[in-house]
Amino acid sequence: MKQSKIKKLVTSIFLKYGLSKTAANISSDALINAELVGAYGHGLSRLRMYCNRIEKRLINPKPKIKIKNISQSITHIDANDSIGFVAADLGIKKAIKNAKRTGIGMVAISNSGHYGLSGYYAEQAVKKNLIAMIYTNAPPAIAPHGSIKSLFGTNPICFGSPTGSKIPFILDTSISMINRGKVRFAEKNNKKIPPGVALDKFGKPTTDAKKALKGVQLPIAGFRGSGLAWMVDILSGVFTGSSHAGKVKDPFEDFSRPQNVGHLFITFKTNLFVNNYKHRIKDNIRIIKGLPKIKGVKEIMYPGQNKYKRFKMNSKKNIKISKIIKRDLEALKNYAI
């Protein structure tokens, strides 16, 4: 399907479900961006879930978002259960503004929801020539080291930096072996997940996406990965005033209450301590790319490079719509308030 057509369709669906024009636009842009970078688990496969949650008022279509400036650098946003995209869009814009004004910006968001890809927001700061560090928590998916029960989300660590070229450095890595979105995508499309990334609810290794969703995803690097996931839960949950310690609701499965996800954005100017950051980072990347390579490796890639390539390639094409998503779109567009 043509991008412009999908954009129009998804926006109109969000409008039907009661989002404002701005909110519908922000949300459809984020979903389509996820499709274009190949992060299908964060794309259109989630549209139905968002609409279901709006219908049940677990996502507030007309939130009264409260913005509280703690200082010129520091801001708190209570998203009032807005759709995550809108809260995060506001948050990153505020974090950019704060950093531009004082050198460093910090924005904490509480009472938000799943916002898609952290890297999407980091990119916006990087475009304004800032470095960004972004943290968000998520519903239980990973067992803390030593436990057999999921509690941490896939809790991504995200870091973005300008590179002096048009392709930004965007590290956006979940702490699980693979993204929950990918497991969900596999489940929705009846595909298997790789071995070694998840256990079923009895603690046995599984490649069945459905069983994995009911079981435990494995963190990277054992105790270290578990510690990093814990750090993200503290920064985005405990610190921001959002849910934490496994209390963030699963948007697909738990319709008892709003998700109450927390996000933390930290942004700063690249030239605080050096006046030639672009030159320095260009050098850094050039040297690393010039290292001797493992046989069969064509190019040493920096984080974000592959995603950018996919984005560029996919931007020229129509977006492939699976049968299931087609069915979702059909059902949702016929929704009458």
Binding site for a copy of itself (CB under 8 A): 70-71, 73-74, 76, 102-104, 106, 108, 110, 131, 143-149, 151, 157, 159, 161, 169, 171, 173, 203, 220-221, 223-225, 227-228, 230-231, 233-235, 237-241, 244-246, 266, 268, 270, 272-274, 277, 280-281, 283-284, 287-288, 291-294, 297, 299-303
Q: How far is the CB of 268 from a copy of itself (least distance, A)?
A: 7
Nearer to a copy of itself, 33 or 154 (CB): 154
**How buried is residue 239: exposed, middle or buried, by Cβ count under 10 Å (0-12/13-18/19+)?**
middle
Q: How far is the CB of 327 from a copy of itself (least distance, A)?
A: 34
| Strand, helix or coil for residue 159 | strand
Q: DSSP of 42-80, one letter per residue?
A: GTGGGHHHHHHHHHTTSS-SS---EEEESSSSEEEEE-T
Q: How far is the CB of 65 from a copy of itself (least distance, A)?
A: 15
Nearer to a copy of itself, 27 or 179 (CB): 179
Nearer to a copy of itself, 295 or 323 (CB): 295
Nearer to a copy of itself, 47 or 125 (CB): 125
Nearer to a copy of itself, 63 or 237 (CB): 237
Amino acid at 160: G
Cα–Cα distance between 226 and 325 in angstroms, integer?
34
Tell me the C-alpha to C-alpha distance, in Å, between residue 322 and each of 13, 35, 190, 309. Answer: 18, 12, 12, 22
**How buried is residue 154: exposed, middle or buried, by Cβ count under 10 Å (0-12/13-18/19+)?**
buried
Nearer to a copy of itself, 15 or 231 (CB): 231
**Closest listed residue to residue 112, CA positions, set 260, 271, 219:** 260
| Strand, helix or coil for residue 327 | helix
Q: How far is the CB of 133 from a copy of itself (least distance, A)?
A: 8
How many CB atoms are closer than 10 A to CB 222? Answer: 11
Q: For residue 67, what are the β-bridge partners?
A: 77
What lies within 8 Å, CB to CB, of 286 at 6+ separation is none
Nearer to a copy of itself, 70 or 331 (CB): 70
Cα–Cα distance between 262 and 329 in angstroms, integer?
29
Nearer to a copy of itself, 43 or 144 (CB): 144
Nearer to a copy of itself, 286 or 317 (CB): 286
Q: How far is the CB of 167 from a copy of itself (least distance, A)?
A: 14
CA Rg, the chain, in Å? 20
72 and 98 Cβ atoms separated by less than 8 Å: yes
Tell me the C-alpha to C-alpha distance, in Å, between residue 118 and each of 78, 271, 294. Answer: 19, 23, 30
**Closest listed residue to residue 178, CA positions, set 148, 147, 207:** 207
